[in-house]
Amino acid sequence: MEKIVLGIFSHPDDAEFICAGTLSLLKNAGYKIRIATLAPGDKGTAEFSKEKISRIRMAEGAKSAKLLTADYYCLDFEDVYIIYDRESINKTTALIRKIRPSIVFTASPDDYMIDHEITSRLVQTACFASGMKNLEISDDPFEPVPYLYYCDPMEGKDKLGNPVIPAMYADITGEMDMKEKMLACHESQRNWLMAHHKMDEYILSMKRFGEQRGKEINRKYAEGFRQHLGHGFPQENILLELLGDKGIIKLNSAT
């Protein structure tokens, strides 16, 4: 099995907010890291054209990924127009087959934004379809199905405000400096949020949520995850096997 981890999300900076610390832990454990987004963040601006902000944000995504010596990919969908259809499934599956990851991280199935929720479902299908010979894409299929982990939704709650409880936590206290450096690469988004939301909390909000998760396991900073355990997906917890002695804390499955 290839020692490759893929974090695939909707927009540039999503990975930095919710799993960059764990990606750094896995890099330190000998895994190659890949980061992908379905869209370039083309609506995340109050001043630039769609084309210009797309170029800016993809460059920021590549700069951030480089800190983990990672490649960055963008599938060129559009913000707020990420949809679950034949073309999107094929493009997402083609990327999975190209990268051939053994571990995949993606967005929570329940989140504040439809882009994130649809991305989660596209990635679930793409992982499951990675070995399907008759899928209408030219890339060679591969098996086994990758391990699939869902990251925390924004602010740790679903769109109705209900808390989403992780099944496991990664202690990222030692990786917070890297996570902060990666997020700081996304200068245009920070500036846009200042104009759009009238606040300058880009990195501080990320650290506050990391502290919140950390307190739940008596650590300084943490990230939360749930594993996809549906039929056909690996059932063992590879994160616990790889990082258990470095801070993966698994809760009772009843949570």
Identify any residues that bridge with 163 across adjacent strands, giving them in sequence order: 157
Q: What is the DSSP string of 52-110?
A: HHHHHHHHHHHHHHHTTT-EEEE----TT----SHHHHHHHHHHHHHH--SEEEE--SS
Predicted pLDDT at 91: 97
Q: What mean pLDDT is predicted for residues 206-227?
A: 96
Mean pLDDT for the stretch of residues 10-22: 97
Both tokens of 186, joined, read: 């996304």
Average pLDDT over residues 72-99: 97
**23-32 pLDDT, tens digit each:** 999 999 999 9
Instruction: Tell me the helix, strand and coil percentages in the chain, rounded to 5.
Output: 45, 15, 40
pLDDT the model gives residue 255: 42
Q: Are 246 and 171 in contact (CB under 8 A)?
A: yes
More confident residue, 119 or 255: 119
| CATH class of the domain defined by 4-250 | alpha beta
pLDDT at 166: 97
pLDDT-above-70 percentage for the chain:
95
**Residue 72 pairs with which residues in a beta bridge?**
35
User: Would you say residue 136 has pLDDT above 60?
Assistant: yes
Helices (H), 129-225: 176-184, 187-197, 202-215
Contact 35, 7 (CB under 8 A): yes
Q: What is the pLDDT of residue 47?
A: 82
Residues 120 and 62: their CA atoms lie apart, in Å, by 22
Spatial separation of the C-alpha atoms in residues 119 and 6, rounded to whole Å: 14
pTM for this entry: 0.94
Least confident of 49-58, 61-70, 190-199: 190-199
**Residue 151 to residues 138, 155, 207: CA-CA distances in angstroms?**
30, 11, 16
Statement: residue 155 has pLDDT above 80: yes
Q: Are 42 and 78 in contact (CB under 8 A)?
A: yes
Tell me how far apart the alpha carbons of residues 183 and 129 are, in angstroms, rounded to a whole number: 31
Helix (H, G, I), strand (E, B) or coil at 227: strand
Is the previous residue joined to 163 through a cis bond, with omega within 30 degrees of 0? no
Q: What is the pLDDT of residue 254?
A: 43
Can you tell me the distance from the alpha carbon of 58 to that of 25, in angstroms, rounded to the nearest whole number?
24
Average pLDDT over residues 94-112: 97
Q: Report CA 216 to chain centroid distance, whole Å.
A: 21
Among 144-148, 154-158, 198-202, which is the least confidently predicted range?
198-202
Where do the domains of the chain lie? 4-250
pLDDT (average), residues 24-47:
93
pLDDT for the residue numbered 73: 98
Worst-scoring range by mean pLDDT, 33-37, 230-234, 243-247? 243-247
Token couple for 165 = 């409880």
Q: How far, in Å, CA of 106 to CA of 125, rounded? A: 12
Q: pLDDT tens, 157-203?
A: 999 999 999 999 999 999 999 999 999 999 987 776 666 666 667 88
Q: What is the mean pLDDT of the chain?
A: 93
Q: What is the CA radius of gyration of the chain?
A: 17
State the sign of the Cα–Cα–Cα–Cα dihedral 100, 59, 41, 199: positive
